[in-house]
Structures are given as structure tokens and as C-alpha cells.
Amino acid sequence: MKRAVLFVCVMLIAGAGLASLRFYLYCVTPHRPNQPATVEVTIPEGASFRKTAVILEQQGIITEPLLFVILAKIKKVEYSVKAGQYSINLPVAPLDVLDKLVRGEVILISVTIPEGSNLFDIARILEQAGLKPSAEVLQKATDGAFAHSMGLEDNETMEGFLFPDTYRFCRSMPLDQMLARMAVRFRDMFARELQAGPAAGGLSPRQLVVLASLVEKEAAEPSERPVIAGVFYNRLKLGMRLECDPTVAYGVRLEDPAFTGRLRKKHLRLANRYNTYKIFGLPAGPICNPGLASLRAVLKPASVDYLFFVARNNGTHQFSRTLEEHNRAVNQYQR
């Protein structure tokens, strides 16, 4: 009887040992597909770990999902997996797969928002990068409630307050977090510039951003930014209309998102809050998202006595002090 009990105990211990060895080998031995490969797999937001294991098995990344679940339970990480899109090089051991999911090593997509991009441009860039549909981006970025949640109490949209820069996003990141990252970057950079010294002209921070967006759109030559800012300040002080073509184009674009054409005289006669040929002072809001150089230009404009400028069609402008000088420049460069 004792021998039988001993035999059973030995068999149980041996079986447990073999099971433990098999489990250990499963955890550390790479699953070997027919040939090495790179697999992209998406773990949905809110997916249970069992569902995650099934997805990995279906993609040929692991075998025996039940053992994979047990591994996660033993390591106490079954609720620590990060959702998102992963790139996994095969063959790979289940333990390495699990560590990758827990660390959240998702695929990051690099997107660059150029200086002077407006919301239409940003929506297109995010869509082309495969991150979010353009329509969804525009809807969120023009949501007044979302703008207010970002601290923009006087702004109806996020226009002007998304900092042009290079960002890295994962596809699973919610859109509001993407926009919030751009907005926080803008807030930090602008606050730093404001702390460097008092702004010229007595404009509020929001008005400075609006003016910077005009400078951004008008200046192709970087060295002209402070001069253009100085011209706008001079016109504002004298109560002159700014007569800035990019503001007119932006107003037309708001009414017709498909508009990307050339401005006509009929556009200059349109009555809206962005047509600076009709209204006095600044337009209703920013017309693009200005870069750091344009923000600095409106904070420290050049001290000039110019009131007019016209494009020379080579990226630079001819600046004039009087209307007579300006008309001659227009005749020379535009007609």
C-alpha cells in the first residue's frame, strides 16, 4: 500500500515537473512560423486578455492562447496590456510578446504640421497619415465646447492654437488627446515667449495670436515677418483696414471648404467677420496656426513707418509709406 501511494506521489510530482517544464518552454521558446515575418496586430481598446490572446493566435504570433492567459495571470499583468497597433517580428517567444504589450510599444506614426497650417490642412495631414478621418478632425477641432475645455474661452475653434511641430501618435490614441497635445505644446511655447517681455501694441494674448496668423500667411521670407507685423500695427493704430488677402481667403474657405482657388474682386466685397477689406481691426479669429517666428514677430515688431506692402512675386514684398508709393509698386509688380 505504501509503495502504491509512493508511486502515485512520484508520478504526480513527475507530472507536475513535466507540466512546469512544458509551460516554461512555451513561455521562452519562440513560436516558429514557416519563415520569419513582421506582423502588425491591433489590440482594441477595452479588449479582455482572453480576446487579446485569441487575436494573437489568429495572427500567427502565439499558439495555445490558454497558456498565454495563464502566463499573464502568473505575472499579474492581464489588466496591464495597452491597446493599440503593434509591429511584432516573428519568431518571438510568448514571454517577449507579453512584455511588449505591457510596455505599450505601439507603432508610432510621425506627422509634421507645417507652420501656417489651418484646420483644413491639419485634418488632411492626419487623414493621410492614416490616423483619423478628415471630417472627424474638423468636427472636433471646430467644437466650441472642446475649445473651451482646452482653456480657449473666447475662441470658437482650435484654429490658431495648435502648435506647428512634428508629433508621434499611435492610431489608437483618441482624437481629443492628439489635439490636446498640440494645444498644450502651443500654450507652453507661447507662454514662454510672453514671459520674455511685454508685447507691443497693447494687444491681448488672443489678439496677438490672431495677428501672428496674418503675419504667418503673408510672410514667405522669414526676415520680413517683423516688418509685416510692424505694418499691421501701424494700420491698427491709425484705424485703417488691414486689407489682408489671406483673411478673405479664409472666410471664403469657411463658407466653401472646397475653395482653394484665386481670390477675385467679388470675394473682396463679401461681408463676413474675416474680410479685412470690409471690417476694421482684426478678423474674428486666427486664420491659421502660426509658428514661433511669427509669434515673436508680433511680440517684437520692427519699428518702421510703412503702411503698405505688395508681393514682388518672388517671395518678398515691396513696402511703401504712402498710398502713392504703394500704387506705383502695385502697377510695377501686379499689373
Rounded CA-CA distance 149/140 in Å is 12
Q: Is the pTM of this model over 0.85?
A: no
Task: Say if residue 168 is in the same domain as residue 67.
Answer: no
Helices (H), 38-174: 49-58, 65-75, 94-103, 119-128, 134-141, 144-149
Tell me: the pLDDT tens digits for 79-116? 999 998 899 999 999 999 999 999 999 999 999 999 99
Tens-place pLDDT, residues 229-246 = 999 999 999 999 999 999
Whether residue 210 has pLDDT greater than 50:
yes
**Of 45, 74, 103, which one is at a domain's C-terminal end?**
103
Banded pLDDT at 7 (limits 50, 70, 90): very low
Q: Decide if 237 contacts 308 (C-beta within 8 A).
A: no
Q: Are residues 56 and 200 in the same domain?
A: no
* Parent domain of 80: 28-103
Tell me, yes or no, whether 69 and 136 share the same domain.
no
Number of folded domains that form the chain: 2
Q: Answer with the residue of higher pLDDT: 199 or 52.
A: 52
Report the alpha-carbon distance of residue 235 to residue 51 in Å, rounded: 64
- pLDDT of 216-227, one tens digit each? 999 999 999 999
The answer to whether position 111 is within a domain reads no
Amino acid residing at 160: G
What grid cell was written down for 18?
A: 513535466
Q: Are 231 and 306 spatial neighbours (Cβ–Cβ below 8 Å)?
A: yes
Q: What is the pLDDT of residue 2?
A: 58
> Averaged over 276-284, what is the pLDDT?
95
